[in-house]
Structure 1
């Protein structure tokens, strides 16, 4: 609505009319802005509270912001002329309390639809409606009202939010032991307003369960959030990644050390969910990031991120010391002895250069002897030798080494899934001279994917979790959706990570007794086996697209990673609900609908891509579409290696009579996974070659259940598309249209997965597609004849109608009594078309099938 139109609606005179006019103009401006909103604020948009009663309560409870000594503890800044790019809307801050203060000012102004005054002086007693933020060191109010003993257990990152009531009024204190903790508490307080929760009578104490909560930024690899049409690259001289180091052409002036708005937005978003570190470059590392010019750029980035509690790290190449770019400080291959002073000294010197520019630099991530990357095994050493050498070199500087365990040397074992534990397990078990076990140094983390293969949509947990009792382990999750729909498919990953983190490892102690705390989350957070230093890593999904993640719903995966990293016990549905409220709307119908879409989206993707434990059936060119018949130069890159399709059945036998991969798990899981009768059906083909005619728990044979599951996945996507269409009145125009377009692609590509895979399996099973027993199967009656046997994968069906008979459908008979149907249209004649919509709520959500019947004369 144009502002002039809004102004023209206001009649009358006087102050009241003027106020109404201002509000109408503001509302019109918001409507216009909403229609063009691009998602660039992620979940930190801070739209006004719509509910008048709630808005009034919030305004009564929050009347002023008090941040004492906000500018006192300036963070380190290495870059003297650090500045934002011309035209920026974000700004640089010099302290963490300034970041907290600014976020409160921004958030409250947006949410309360009016500015909230800020002061640095609370007076003798805080005024009613004050929100006070600080530490016991920075704030007199915190010292007066928050005992040290209440804060001590919260550590460096925890926070406390407490209401203090005086009669009908009062004030709120947000406090931490550190300014970073206070910042986290600030975001938590704002999140309560964003999600329309109460902000009175609060007594909240939180601290993260996992100490190091980091992102790995893979730059242009697995980047699905670039600002070009495909999402995989950049425009205007940028390469599509979130940070500019070497942009060209018209973007050359936007390279670091210049700070862009999106860097600050990402820093704020990371801090809002407690992410406290980022490795800024690809694990297939380019040594250029260790050169002086790049270190200067990295220091500028670290300067901008530091007030938000975020520290940076680098991925490195094991043989970097041989790179001539470092001359005269270069080594020969003969000097790469991990036990020698040359190798260790080189890494100490290079780390020292980084530490001089970035005092809180956290360390290095290493991908070694994996997928062509060099490592210690190239020189006759093992992973323990290599990791410890670099770790010992950087330990005096307080740095850590994150050594990735994604290795699968074919000479180790025929079964790719067994190889990582075989390469690392013996090092963890090795007895040391002091009688302890485990050779890896204390500042080494083994960074291990959640499953034993490669970020597939569903995998069993990696057997190394719990088995590496004497070594620090970092869990690695993939936020960017390499195998889960990339930037095209709506797939919320929170439930997948929740399933993994809450899986029972059945870990035992040295005497074989089950541990009291033994879920994978307990292993990761250190409570299972007494690890004091803990870590979780997410492969980031950030790029330079307007919405920063490529797909609007991909933002939810970054949000969920942060929330689950902070507290892995959280419910993924609750996380989704918060994100929807912060991102789309607080209207009950919108929240409930979108959360339902999200919560079934992962299970749907598993169903139309890799149901019942099938794995890695992606075409090699882009890891997006299906190619189950593909055979590559390496067996373990080939879909056929994993599906093992033959006339007898489908799946990889990893039971005790097969590769015996199951033996790497603790005994209870080994027995469960190793027996085809006890393995969970959603992991069936990970561990067994399943006969086509095996009777499943549904009562159907495996072939029938398999085909129906593919179909169900597509039918859920159809429901999502139709459901999103119904939300049009509640969603702003640009984002609605962009998600709508993605869902159309999603549905078509899900259908391609179903059709490609089922057709290929059919060539081995020798069976036709099952009919008449699917969740959405129906028969119809036309002209007095019952007609059925409809392949649920078909787009339409030809129905013969006898001459003179009515083409009307007179009866619809669902195979499943829980299914419902609606005749959307009838044929007026022959030829003609009728459409019947069948719906059913199934185990992962609603399914929809539109039967298009083409009536033709016999």
Structure 2
């Protein structure tokens, strides 16, 4: 008995020592940390990777795979295995049919599996090759081998390296959109400057670029738009093309193509044409020459992303042309090079005018009539919701409505409306909620997609994303771009194990935190379908009272419409009738507040304050209860994190803890300011037990944030 207690005590002390003295981490390594494995897991991995074998000639991509395997195995095992020329027992074998013809042989048991993978998929197998027991990473291309190498390392790092896996991307276009400006500011970015040092390029290549490529390739992201959709004409001049080419050279081995946001009026603004009319032969010829120039420097250039006739950006409507005519002109220029054009559907009336009824209707009204009019190499890029990356929106009605046009989903990874990089809000749940929504006309939203774009949250901060937990949103986006049917909880569990270690005492509570976090933010910011009531311009903090801006649809009062009689935006037939843009089954369900999901109630309905909610409360009491729940959940996040202090390295623990403390303050501010305002317009008393706001409404109205980050 004494021996048993001694051994148990010794094990406990060793475990405590390992956690107490865990080396501080700054987050730079992201989910590619490759920390030492437990002894049993080490033995398993060693048995599967006694040597690394990659038959055939080396390429930059196979060299990248080999380098990553060496890095990962050295970290997990203490040393990397040798690269071998021949297959032997225990080899980690990376092979394509071209590199190892027997994989494609008629009698090969893997032939059918490989054929199903396409160009970018991979499979992991414990099998026998040439009489030897090997761990096989097989694909039809070298980039598939790289993806497979990352997948195998991921399995090893979380302690499950023996599974047989087959995986292929369901979407062929999986892009990041950087809203990065040429002066290194980042619009709606909350993690420092742009990682692209345009001043130093093309001569100086920061190590960030290679590590950025590694991180993205580990998720299967295969494209990046380097510059802001609010583009400048200079980005298409020779000096900046050379800079983009230098970045492309770094990213290419990792299967990542470079794209550029193009300003529609570029030739006119560079004084090289007399117009930017897309039907002008002069303009068409200019774009064709420019495309030829770009592809000469960047042979695998992906194409253009365009924001046109939105928020003051120039576009074809300036010349009485439609979106298809503008997009097709650019598409013709890149088509000979197999390039594409991504044409954003985020449009609303130009400055000086507005839609009197409902801004949410405009994108559908402009793009739906053009279904089938776009060139084959044009994809219409649609935000997840019809307004603007709100904490919660119903899916955009264009999904399921444009059967003849390839669509791309645009998610915002950077949290413009969800507390910047301060508040913890795991967006995997938001992505999943949108992607699994049933359009009724064309299956789920995910089934309508040809590609996915994510507005990047990456910057020059050492931890890349401004906060450690915001790395999870980059990770979740990449995993869901690969498989839009993936589940947010599974991805959170994977990320937590890779980022904080596979210890279930740590990973499980972190996953629980992540899974409640976004709903907490929704509750203390925009419960029950409220939307766009943030501070104007900077989009930080509550400002439901703002009503004095130039355009009605810039004012929060336009969206909540609270008055003595009730609150909410009526989008039924009695209001703007935006519901008619959805499939009839959805329109019928959401036309009745009793069958509208509660989380979207005030998005579609203007209801009296005493409307009876399913909880038995009035709408007024329910709204206050949601605000209180948001604050309680924000406090719970910090309490849960505090319990993990002995198990987290001191630096990351403290950095997260500070943000969670700030999040509580943000939640209280939102709760108190909104209650103060909505009480002022409703004239209703607070229900029994509801704590009154800490300050007067005038106090909250007087708060200012003149130097808030992320304004570009």
TM-score by length of 1: 0.76
Is the Cα contact below 8 Å between 1:222 and 1:482 reproduced in 2?
no
In structure 2, how many angstroms separate the alpha carbons of the residues matched to 1:790 and 1:504?
A: 38
- 1:693 corresponds to which of 590, 610, 614: 610
**Which position in structure 2 is the counterpart of 1:433?**
none
Unaligned runs of 5+ residues in structure 1 are: 1-23, 74-94, 228-239, 247-253, 429-437, 508-514, 525-533, 772-788, 796-858
In structure 1, how many angstroms separate the alpha carbons of the residues matched to 2:692 and 2:35?
A: 43
**Which position in structure 2 is the counterpart of 1:774?**
none
**Which position in structure 2 is the counterpart of 1:152?**
115
In structure 2, how many angstroms separate the alpha carbons of the residues matched to 1:714 and 1:203?
A: 44
**Which position in structure 1 is the counterpart of 2:6?**
none
1:318 aligns with 2:305: no
Is the Cα contact below 8 Å between 1:225 and 1:545 reproduced in 2?
no
**Which position in structure 1 is the counterpart of 2:698?**
none
**Which position in structure 2 is the counterpart of 1:706?**
623
1:304 aligns with 2:304: no
In structure 2, how many angstroms separate the alpha carbons of the residues matched to 1:538 and 1:415?
A: 26
Structure 2 matches for 1:495-510, cutoff 5 A? Answer: 495-507=429-441
Structure 2 matches for 1:236-255, cutoff 5 A? Answer: 240-246=193-199, 254-255=200-201
- 2:410 corresponds to which of 461, 464, 476: 476
Q: CA deviation at 1:652?
A: 0.6
**Which position in structure 2 is the counterpart of 1:52?**
39
1:672 aligns with 2:564: no
1:520 aligns with 2:445: yes
- Helix, strand or coil at the partner of 1:175: strand
Check 1:40–1:142 CA distance in 2 against 1; reply closer, same or farther (3 A cut): farther
- 1:35 corresponds to which of 12, 23, 26: 23
Structure 2 matches for 1:69-468, cutoff 5 A? Answer: 69=56, 71=58, 73=59, 95-119=60-84, 121-122=85-86, 126-139=87-100, 142=103, 147-164=110-127, 170-197=133-160, 199-200=161-162, 202-219=163-180, 220-227=185-192, 240-246=193-199, 254-324=200-270, 330-333=272-275, 336-409=276-349, 410-411=353-354, 414-428=357-371, 438-468=372-402
In structure 2, how many angstroms separate the alpha carbons of the residues matched to 1:793 and 1:221?
A: 35
- Helix, strand or coil at the partner of 1:312: strand
Unaligned runs of 5+ residues in structure 2 are: 1-13, 696-712
- Helix, strand or coil at the partner of 1:467: coil
- The structure carrying a bigger helix percent of its residues is 2
Check 1:594–1:794 CA distance in 2 against 1; reply closer, same or farther (3 A cut): farther
In structure 1, how many angstroms separate the alpha carbons of the residues matched to 2:531 and 2:479?
A: 28
- 1:489 corresponds to which of 423, 427, 444: 423
Is the Cα contact below 8 Å between 2:348 and 2:363 reproduced in 1?
yes
In structure 1, how many angstroms separate the alpha carbons of the residues matched to 2:692 and 2:504?
A: 34
In structure 1, how many angstroms separate the alpha carbons of the residues matched to 2:139 and 2:440?
A: 36
- The structure carrying a bigger strand percent of its residues is 1
Name the larger-Rg structure: 1
In structure 2, how many angstroms separate the alpha carbons of the residues matched to 1:134 and 1:105?
A: 17
- Helix, strand or coil at the partner of 1:464: coil
In structure 2, how many angstroms separate the alpha carbons of the residues matched to 1:599 and 1:608?
A: 16
- Helix, strand or coil at the partner of 1:344: helix
Check 1:134–1:185 CA distance in 2 against 1; reply closer, same or farther (3 A cut): same
Q: CA deviation at 1:472?
A: 1.1
- RMSD across aligned C-alpha pairs, in angstroms? 2.1
Check 1:544–1:70 CA distance in 2 against 1; reply closer, same or farther (3 A cut): farther
Q: Which runs of 4+ in 1 moved over 4 A?
A: 27-32, 140-147, 410-413, 792-795
In structure 2, how many angstroms separate the alpha carbons of the residues matched to 1:67 and 1:175?
A: 10
In structure 2, how many angstroms separate the alpha carbons of the residues matched to 1:625 and 1:764?
A: 19
1:791 aligns with 2:691: yes
Is the Cα contact below 8 Å between 1:61 and 1:169 reproduced in 2?
no
Is the Cα contact below 8 Å between 2:354 and 2:552 reproduced in 1?
no
Q: CA deviation at 1:28?
A: 10
Is the Cα contact below 8 Å between 1:132 and 1:141 reproduced in 2?
no
In structure 2, how many angstroms separate the alpha carbons of the residues matched to 1:226 and 1:717?
A: 22
Q: How many residues align?
A: 670
1:64 aligns with 2:51: yes
Is the Cα contact below 8 Å between 2:151 and 2:218 reproduced in 1?
yes
- Helix, strand or coil at the partner of 2:460: coil
TM-score by length of 2: 0.91
Q: CA deviation at 1:413?
A: 5.5
Check 1:147–1:170 CA distance in 2 against 1; reply closer, same or farther (3 A cut): closer
Q: Deviations over 1:285-321 (max 9, x none)?
A: 0111111111111111000000000000000111101
Is the Cα contact below 8 Å between 2:103 and 2:111 reproduced in 1?
no
Q: CA deviation at 1:132?
A: 0.7
Check 1:712–1:30 CA distance in 2 against 1; reply closer, same or farther (3 A cut): closer
Q: Deviations over 1:455-503 (max 9, x none)?
A: 0011000000011111111110000110112111111000011011001
In structure 2, how many angstroms separate the alpha carbons of the residues matched to 1:39 and 1:747?
A: 23
In structure 2, how many angstroms separate the alpha carbons of the residues matched to 1:724 and 1:595?
A: 11
- Helix, strand or coil at the partner of 1:446: strand
Q: CA deviation at 1:148?
A: 3.8
Structure 2 matches for 1:723-742, cutoff 5 A? Answer: 723-742=640-659
Q: CA deviation at 1:165?
A: 5.6
Is the Cα contact below 8 Å between 1:257 and 1:296 reproduced in 2?
no
Is the Cα contact below 8 Å between 2:524 and 2:671 reproduced in 1?
yes
Is the Cα contact below 8 Å between 2:572 and 2:591 reproduced in 1?
yes
Q: CA deviation at 1:363?
A: 0.5
In structure 1, how many angstroms separate the alpha carbons of the residues matched to 2:70 and 2:134?
A: 17
Is the Cα contact below 8 Å between 1:457 and 1:484 reproduced in 2?
yes
Q: CA deviation at 1:643?
A: 0.8
Is the Cα contact below 8 Å between 2:20 and 2:646 reproduced in 1?
no
Is the Cα contact below 8 Å between 2:19 and 2:646 reproduced in 1?
no
In structure 1, how many angstroms separate the alpha carbons of the residues matched to 2:511 and 2:685?
A: 37
In structure 2, how many angstroms separate the alpha carbons of the residues matched to 1:660 and 1:271?
A: 43
Q: CA deviation at 1:224?
A: 3.6
**Which position in structure 2 is the counterpart of 1:511?**
none
Q: CA deviation at 1:265?
A: 1.1
In structure 1, how many angstroms separate the alpha carbons of the residues matched to 2:191 and 2:92?
A: 39
**Which position in structure 1 is the counterpart of 2:11?**
none
Check 1:732–1:142 CA distance in 2 against 1; reply closer, same or farther (3 A cut): farther
1:745 aligns with 2:645: no
In structure 1, how many angstroms separate the alpha carbons of the residues matched to 2:17 and 2:206?
A: 29
Q: Deviations over 1:581-612 (max 9, x none)?
A: 00012111111100000000000000000000
Q: CA deviation at 1:275?
A: 0.4
- Helix, strand or coil at the partner of 1:132: strand
Check 1:733–1:365 CA distance in 2 against 1; reply closer, same or farther (3 A cut): same
Which fold has the larger relative contact order, with Cα–Cα distance below 8 Å and residues 6 or more apart in sequence?
2
Is the Cα contact below 8 Å between 1:695 and 1:701 reproduced in 2?
yes
Q: CA deviation at 1:140?
A: 6.1
Is the Cα contact below 8 Å between 1:225 and 1:544 reproduced in 2?
no
**Which position in structure 2 is the counterpart of 1:610?**
526
